[in-house]
Structures are given as structure tokens and as C-alpha cells.
Chains A and B, each alone.
Chain A
């Protein structure tokens, strides 16, 4: 069976990308292997770690469980698209830096994309709520208390 590829157009971080992909190609693999947007990480490829979190039309999704073709016609935002055009960091990125909310940094793009959505969803009201709504993003370095502090700080700054 020959591999069947189709031409996809994805809008990523405000820019259109046109490329060939197979129907089975995940959004995560398309981002990383074809478009060289490697800020989004693969921690499990099974929807279990959150490292691959990106936004589709502003909502957080796991890009390892999303086919690239499902993202057509929707706005994809990745960690690379979070800072301003002038390079100014997003409030959540700044808060992660200030609170030392990471060690190795591998889970961090996913944590930050989740955190931005968590605040936008209105789920950053208390520490307990943040812990619950950030629980889908694993951090083996154990930066959790600092992630909670960073989300709080950013939520207050954005309020």
C-alpha cells in the first residue's frame, strides 16, 4: 500500500504553512518533523503527559492525539507563537522565569501552553484549582509548586 499524502494548509502562529502530509500524521509530528517547529515536545505520544500541548482556536489540545489534517482551517498556536512579534515574553513565560517553574525545561512549553489556557478558562482562581487544572501536564523534575506560583502570578498580572 503506497503512502497517500495530501497537501495541507495549516495556520500556525498566524502564518500559513503548506506541506504534504499523510492522513495519519499527527499534528505533533507535522510540527516537529516537517515544519521544524520543535518547541512543542513529545513526551509520550499517547496523550498521557501534556508535553505536546498546543492551542487550536485558543483551546488547549494534545497535538499527539490530533491529526494534522484536523487542524486545517483552525488557528494553531504553539510555544513559538506566544511571545510578541518584538520578542517580548508573554506574561506566563515571564512568570515561569521568575518563579523558577522548571528545571530541565522539557515539559515547559506544554506547561506554559496549558497555563495560558488555564487562566483563559477561568481556572486559576486558587492554588487548589490551578493544581487540578494543570494536572494533565507531567513534570518529572517536580517543578509543580513553582508552576502553581507562576500561574497565580501570571493570572493576577493578566486580571
Chain B
């Protein structure tokens, strides 16, 4: 269940943080032995299938369930009429519910693909067949298909997001060089390869849920509130997650339904969304639109940026995709004005996808900087250096660390950028038009408290436990490395348990904060356990080392008197002498984050105590620079990537091998965003037309060129206890504009709407 069988290795101090070690959960994964949510064998499980609305707005008038109920194996049919309400849960941001009840099935329809019914049967095949037998009658109302629907209007202003710095209108009006352009990004979907699903089982009033989770404690809280049971009565189990990218942080409506069905039937229920259902059962990235006006000197020094943007949200609620997040701080910019509207449409409420905000923000800004480079005739990299911000222009605070210049230099050197000729179309190989483009990216350092238990056993094994999760980030491995470093033991001697809400608390694995905060919590707990061991060794009457020395070191799993007063004593031998089977320490980092023990529950089950990057004396961010080469076929207009070099500053890397993998993964998702991905919305039914993996295109192996990543970071003592900054989201930020800029360099054609396809180049 958890990786108790790490690859045996010869260990030494080289197993600590910073080592390029393979994943300790890797062996289970390559053997097919890692159990994901729906892999858990649960006795007597029934299968649920959900049914989604086929109209975008209106009401479910009736659902005729007769044929479905009579179908073989059917145990239960849930419809808005037959489904009792649950209690409303507070939000993930920690706000109390506005209504007393929550209905996972409603008569009111707000978007196509909203869940309206479920069928539970003995087998998956029977449930699927019966679900198709439901006859739904609707009363249809007019809908707004998307933000370009004329009925959508301008949307609602969002005053808290507005920024006025200096006088952007005046500075723009007087600028020698001015350019205005509109940039657009479509709906994009997270599409982890593991589709969403869960198994729910009740035993009395205790609920066990096997469900992929980026946030065990937050999701367990939601289930507890829905069903009116104490938090401790919910156990969420998620040792492995088949990718999340933001989509697996919340308990969702189908989860409520599975748990409800299980309670009603008195037996466990497994519910798996189909791949098409994953396009509307939860939100992807909101579509965005922004107009940027850049004013600059003739040399390309920025004088002003005015930004007017909007993002889609649902008629169902508010989702903000902050378009100014990179624009406000990337460059030395004296005058900045930004306003953003939210446009409610009939869609599922959008949610977080890798780098929400930073991603579309950087697409606009970094394309516009390329346009400015051409407007003033300055190399795009030189233009960025010319506008380098020495401190955060928005908060006025100094950067904690910002090795962006170093990233530019290292990336440009590895790529050979100096050989680039400015003119579009100046590079050619036969019928291929070659283009070189670059762009920068950034992602903030977010901080929340963490909690971990570290235990030393008599056989010398070190155990680490926390409810945080590893969705491919490498959490198992880096947390093992953290503990291995404190006790100076080989990695094979460390066991890590994660992904279980009954373990010590952890906040959301999102916002690229997990590695920084959890290595801090594990380090603290491990040091506490080590201190206790040393204390016992020095003072306990049964200790062979009592009275031998007045301090001890811990090296290679031994307690070592500093001047060789006695031979090193294995930790396990000390425990045996003490008659104990373990020493353990549970520690949290609440106080380091300005919180008290009373804040504990709220801090781990909501995001209300997550600290922004400028909380404190510094402005803290990760940085990156992407350099890409594309080849556009002159006749076919097909676009192929040929190589990518990315240099990045994410502070100290706890395991460079795994961090580099994650950066590459972000880059590859950025390739999809640039060239392949976009929800196609049917304007009549407000429906996602391409709701499957053959029509909503993800990058395949054949789409991805060689990618070189270079870390230029150094430890950032302000960002986290052990010096790392965020990695997970950084890699995607700036990829799409770098590719768009390369396409311009190849073809002379400026495409400002994603994804860029052949059709844009004809």
C-alpha cells in the first residue's frame, strides 16, 4: 500500500537532500503494485454510474426510472426527486455555507454535463446499461455558451483585483512606442490519466473513502460536514494519485453521491467517472481574454502597461484566474493599470489547473514583450534584461532570491541564442521554416504549515508519516531523504507513509508548496526525535553511553561520542537497552507560520492560512526562462517542436532528478497548451464537443522534442526551512508564449490565441 519496498541501495550521507535518487515508490509503480483509488479490493462493492444533463440551462422536469429500475442487477436509482439533501459544507477557503443544505442532485440545470442522476447495480456493465435507460424530460431555458456569446456581455468587474500603480494612462499616451494587442486562451482541462472516481464504505457512522486526493484533510472535512459526522469519523485513503494538476483537491458532487448511495444501500459503492464525464464533473482552466497596451521608450524601456482582461466563470459561482499575477511584477514597470471582469456563462465552475493566473498572465505579457522587441528592433532577450526588475515593483519589497539573469544566461548559452538572427523567416532548412523564440516565467512561493510524525524503531528503521500526498511530485522520496539526512541513515532504512487522513495533518498539495513545507515539518520532527534519542542516551541509567560524554552526534545511524570516548552505538541497540521499541516525535510548523495550536484544524482543512509570497520582508518567487526551436512546414503549415532549453531558479532542489522531471512535465503540458489543447464549445448546446482524449489533444510522445533543463537556483533561506522554492507549476509558465514567439520568428505571423494550429498559419 505504501512504498515499504524501496530499491535496496548502499546508503551513505549521499542519501540526504540534494541527491539525485530514484523514486522510492518506483518499484511498486513499475510492477503495477501501486494501488490507486479504484484498485483497492473492497468486499461486496456495488458499482455506480452517473448521468449528466444534456441541456445547458433549465430544469429537470421528470426522470422516468421505470425501465432502469427494472433492469438486471440494479440496486438503486438516485434522481433529484429521490435524493435527500446533505448538510452544506464550508468552502475550501474556509467560508461558512450560505445555505443549510447541499443537494448533489438538483432539478435546476446550470450547465451541460451537470450530474442529474445515478444508477447503482451489482456490476459496472449493469449500471452502465441501466443508466442509458433513464428517460429525462427537461424544461429548457436560454443559456450563455461562453464568453464570446453575445449574450455574455462584459461581465462583472472585480474591484479587488484592480491595480493602479503610477499613472498608466498618461504614461502610455506619452510613450514614444506604443502597442496594443489582445491575447486569448481557451478552456483547458487538467486531464490526469487517472480519471476521477472513488470507493465509499460506511461502517456504522464511520465513512472510509478511497479517493485520489491532493488534499486529504480538506476533502475529509468536506465529507464530514456533508454527512454531519465528526472529522475523525472520515478516513480518506490515497497512497497514490494518478496525476491531479489541480483537479483532485476538492470533494466533488459525484463523491457526495457515491457516499450517499453507499449509506443508503448499506454496502460499499465504487463510482468511476467516464472520460467524457471528466470534462464537466469539475472545472478546468477558465477561458481568458486580455488586452494589453504597452508604452515604451524607443530603446524598449517599459513606461506603462494597461491591462484589461476577463475570465469565464460559471453562473454557479466565482472563479478568478488572475491575469495580472505575472504582469504586475515581472519587469521594472513604473506605471501599471489592471482591471479584470468575470463573465458568468453556463459551464461547470472553472478551477485550478497548473499555475492558475500565472499561466495566462505570462502568455499575454511574454508575447507582448516579443512584439515590443520587434517594434523597437531589440533582441527579445536583451529587451528583457533592459527591463529587469531589481525589486518587486508591485510590493516594493526586495526579492528573496531572483536568479532570472542567471537563467537567461544559462539558457541562452545552452541554446545558442547568440546566433539568432532577428528577422522573421531568416532561418530555413529546405521547406522547413525554423523559428527561435524565448519567454520567461515565474511562480510565487506559497507557505502553509505542515505536520509530520517521525519514528525510530528498534531495528534502526526510521518511519515518516503525514497525510500529505504524492501525485508524482516525489514526496515519498524527498521526505525519506529529509529524514535520512537527519539520522544519517541509508534511504533504504526509511519508510514513508502518506496519503491517509488518519495520519498527521497536511495542507493542500497545490500552489507548489508541498515540498518546501513538508520537508520543513519532517526535518523538525526528525530533529526532535534525534534530540530525544541523544537525551536518553546521555541520561537514561540503562544507556551504555550514560556518563560517557556530554554530547553525542548521530552519524550513519549510530550515536557517536564526539571524541571517541566510546564506540559508536547503533540507534537500535540503544532502544533495545532502554527496553523501548520506538522513539517518536510529532511536530507541526504552525508557529513558524504565525499560527497557534487552536488554528490547527482550520489551517489544515482550509486554505485560509496560506501565506502569500509577499507576507514578510521579501517577495518570493521561482523563475524560469524557456528557449524553443520550432519548424513550420512551408507547404503544410504544420508546426513541430525541435528542441527546448529551460533554465530555472526554484531555489535548492531536494532531489534534482525528480525536480527536473517535474519541470519537464510542466514544459510538456505547456506544449499542449500552445499547440493542441482547447475546449471546443457548441454554441447551441453550450457543450464541450471534444470531450474525449482523441478530440481534446494531449501531447503524445511523438509531439515532444528533446528538452534540456538547467537549474540555476541556490538555497533561498526565506522561502522555506530548507531553502527550496516551488517547482511543480513553474515549468509550464512561459512555455506557450515562447512557442508563439518562435512561430512568429519562423513565419512572421503573430498568433495571439491558443492553441496555435495550422489554420492560423494559412
Contacts and interface: CB of A to CB of B under 8 A. Distances in A.
B305 interface: no
Contact of B693 (A49, A102, A103, A146): A49
Contacts of A137: 701
B125 A104 contact: no
Given A41-B36, A83-B31, A103 B665 contact: yes
Interface stretch (B154-162, B241-249, B317-325, B392-400): B241-249
A93 B275 CA distance: 28
Interface stretch (B295-303, B516-524, B599-607, B656-664): B656-664
B472 A147 contact: no
Interface in B180-225: 190-195
B698 A138 contact: yes
B31 A132 contact: no
Interface string A98-136: 101011111111001000000000000001001110111
A112 to B, nearest CB: 6
Contact of A44 (B33, B240, B692): B692
B125 A141 contact: no
B472 A141 contact: yes
Interface string B1-33: 000000100000000000000110111111111
A142 B658 contact: no
Interface stretch (B140-148, B371-379, B405-413, B702-710): B702-710
A105 B72 contact: no
A40 interface: yes
Given A104-B472, A105-B240, A147 B30 contact: no
A79 B32 contact: yes
Interface in A15-72: 22, 24-25, 29, 32-33, 36, 38-46, 48-49, 51
Interface residues of B, number: 65
B613 interface: no
A46 B669 CA distance: 22
**Residue with the highest number of chain B CB atoms closer than 10 Å, among A41, A107, A130, A134:** A41
Interface in B45-91: 47, 72-73
A74 interface: no
A77 B472 CA distance: 26
Contact of A29 (B7, B124, B240): B124
B694 interface: yes
Contacts of A41: 36, 193-194, 242
Chief secondary structure at chain B's binding surface: loop
A69 to B, nearest CB: 13
Contact of A100 (B126, B275, B661, B699): B661
B149 interface: no
Chief secondary structure at chain A's binding surface: loop
Contact of B701 (A93, A106, A112, A131): A131
Contacts of B474: 103
B133 to A, nearest CB: 11
Contacts of B36: 38, 41, 106
Nearest to B28: A105
Nearest to A110: B193
B343 interface: no
B594 interface: no
A146 B272 CA distance: 30
B26 A140 contact: no
B194 A48 contact: no
Nearest to A47: B694
A3 B72 contact: yes
B274 interface: yes
Given A24-B125, A144-B704, A148-B701, A39 B26 contact: no
Contact of A39 (B31, B190, B241, B700): B31
A139 interface: yes
Interface string B235-272: 00000111101000000000000000000000000001
Contact of B700 (A51, A78, A79, A138): A138
B444 interface: no
B33 A22 contact: no
A63 to B, nearest CB: 13
A51 B72 contact: no
A41 B245 CA distance: 19
A107 B699 CA distance: 14
A14 interface: no
A44 B702 CA distance: 20
A80 B32 contact: yes
Contact of A105 (B29, B47, B699): B29
**Residue with the highest number of chain B CB atoms closer than 10 Å, among A24, A130, A142:** A142
B62 to A, nearest CB: 24
A103 B662 contact: yes
A103 B22 contact: no
A132 B668 CA distance: 16
Contacts of B29: 102, 105, 108
A135 B702 contact: yes
Contact of B275 (A45, A103, A144): A45
A85 interface: no
A44 B661 contact: no
A1 interface: yes
Given A105-B26, A132-B702, A142-B667, 11 more contacts: A41-B242, A43-B693, A49-B193, A80-B31, A82-B31, A96-B26, A102-B29, A138-B700, A140-B192, A144-B668, A144-B700
9 contacts: A3-B123, A33-B124, A39-B31, A80-B31, A82-B31, A97-B23, A105-B242, A140-B191, A142-B669
Interface of A: 1-3, 22, 24-25, 29, 32-33, 36, 38-46, 48-49, 51, 78-80, 82-83, 89, 93-94, 96-98, 100, 102-109, 112, 127, 130-132, 134-148
